Amino acid sequence: MIIGVLKESSPETRVSLVPEIVSALIKLNITVWVESNAGATAFFNDNAYVSAGAQIKDKEAIVNEASIILTIHADNVPANTKAETVIMGVYQPLFNPELMQTWADKGHVVFSLDTIPRTTRAQAMDVLSSQANIAGYKAVLIAALQYSRYFPMFMTAAGSIAPAKVLILGAGVAGLQAVATARRLGAVVEVFDTRPSVKEEVMSLGAKFVEVEGAADASKAGGYAVEQNEDFQRRQREKIHEHIKKSDIVITTAQIAGRKAPILIKTEMINDMRPGSVIVDIAASTGGNTDLTQDNKTILHNDVTIIGNSALASSMPSDASKLYGKNVLNFLKLIITKEGSLNLNFEDDIVKGTCIVNDGKIVNERIQGLLKPQPIKA
């Protein structure tokens, strides 16, 4: 069986497989074809892929011959991909149900790794986690670069410097890495999340957890957050308002799978922040956690810098690709036999949860629901 790796289009800098992962696939009796220059922006050149056992091919050859095509983004899947090809990447099917229907009509088999169940067994295949970890780390670093003061406390002959106060909204994978990174830089860190279960993790990283009572129970949402009612949102904003006035840096990471991100910071709260403060909003691509966030833009409002960036993993493409590729390899091991042929076992919850399209149909119930005609309200 041939697995084909396509080059992503700009601004994406990552690649689905790095040479180290190619070697592992070759040992599993797989032939790997890589589009010329696919790894260049992540600093893996064609020679490194050839040394690992891959063959460098053009896109047409890969589209015509590969049984599995790997592209990170949906818009990189070639329109002339053959009917029965398996395509695998991060396709955000909850935001793109019509595209999933188009792929079903074309007869592709689609695996979207961002829908993998959040279970212990799936952790090694969880691309959202591996990439969010990078986003949390990078968010703090870009905030520190933008900030006009120190992060750590200093006592010097020229005077004393107080440590930066960092507020982190959302303590999922990205938020917890942001806590750890800000602490390493010497900041004092406070954290909000709607899931009280993260309190202990936050405290073990040396940060303070700020609790707002009465959050909706998310324990049955498969590891994802759920939407909160109006009353909770209002009380949460009041509490954040209190804390944001004293914060220098705010990192916002709150997301709700398949929905617009919750607005946790209103303009009037930003107006009360100290001049020179910095907000990094990594929920920017789904609307952002502030009402001023603009995706892929940095704006200055009332002397507060607001950086909207949900693509921070791409700013560290070598390690991001290495970890993404390891996730892909672990997932491929579930659907490829020892002899190197495809075996889709839909009894396996990970295979089932990650498959969006098979047999000419959308097989994921949540996406099916999005395409059903909604009843007309009288």
Active site residues: 118, 123, 126, 129, 224
Residues 38, 132, 134, 188: which binds ligand NAD (CB under 6 A)?
132
**Own/partner pairs, 333-337, CB within 8 angstroms, 24+ separation:** 333/28, 334/125, 335/111, 336/1, 336/28, 336/30
224 binds ligand NAD (CB under 6 A): yes
CA dist 351 and 107 (Å) reads 18
Q: How far is CA 12 from CA 7, 8, 79, 164, in A?
A: 9, 6, 19, 32
Strand partners, 207: none
Residues 93, 97, 172, 325: which binds ligand NAD (CB under 6 A)?
172
177 binds ligand NAD (CB under 6 A): no
CA dist 197 and 219 (Å) reads 9
Residue of 24, 50, 107 whose CA lies nearest to 336: 24
Smaller CB distance to ligand NAD: residue 253 or 305?
A: 253
Residues 72, 173, 356, 357: which binds ligand NAD (CB under 6 A)?
173
Residue of 38, 28, 27, 36 whose CA lies nearest to 18: 38
Q: How far is CA 158 from CA 108, 154, 155, 205, 256, in A?
A: 66, 10, 8, 31, 47
Structure tokens at 163: 């440590």
Residues 118, 149, 199, 239: which binds ligand NAD (CB under 6 A)?
118
Binding region for ligand NAD (CB under 6 A) out of 3-11, 102-110, 221-229, 370-378: 221-229
353 binds ligand NAD (CB under 6 A): no
CA dist 279 and 247 (Å) reads 10
Q: What residues from 248 to 267 belong to the interface with ligand NAD (CB under 6 A)?
A: 253-257, 262, 264
In contact, 248 and 278? CB cutoff 8 Å: yes
Residue of 75, 73, 66, 56 whose CA lies nearest to 30: 66
Q: Quote the least distance from Cβ 364 to ligand NAD, whole Å.
A: 18
Residue of 100, 25, 9, 5 whose CA lies nearest to 354: 100
Smaller CB distance to ligand NAD: residue 21 or 128?
A: 128
Binding region for ligand NAD (CB under 6 A) out of 14-22, 103-111, 223-231, 313-321: 223-231
284 binds ligand NAD (CB under 6 A): no
Q: What residues from 87 to 116 belong to the interface with ligand NAD (CB under 6 A)?
A: none
Residue nearest ligand NAD, CB atom distance:
172
170 binds ligand NAD (CB under 6 A): yes
64 binds ligand NAD (CB under 6 A): no
Q: Quote the least distance from Cβ 264 to ligand NAD, whole Å.
A: 6
In contact, 112 and 358? CB cutoff 8 Å: no
Smaller CB distance to ligand NAD: residue 94 or 370?
A: 94
205 binds ligand NAD (CB under 6 A): no
Residues 195, 237, 322, 326: which binds ligand NAD (CB under 6 A)?
195
- With CB under 6 A as the rule, give the number of residues binding ligand NAD: 31
CA dist 32 and 122 (Å) reads 24
Structure tokens at 320: 């991001």
Distance of CA 160 to the CA centre of its chain: 39
Residues 192, 209, 324, 331: which binds ligand NAD (CB under 6 A)?
192
Q: What strands lie across the sheet with 109-112, from one edge to the other? A: 55-57, 31-35, 2-5, 68-70, 86-89, 109-112, 355-358, 361-362
Binding region for ligand NAD (CB under 6 A) out of 75-83, 89-97, 123-131, 149-157: 123-131
150 binds ligand NAD (CB under 6 A): no
* Binding footprint of ligand NAD on the chain (CB under 6 A): 118-120, 122-123, 126, 128-129, 132, 169-175, 192-195, 223-225, 228, 253-257, 262, 264
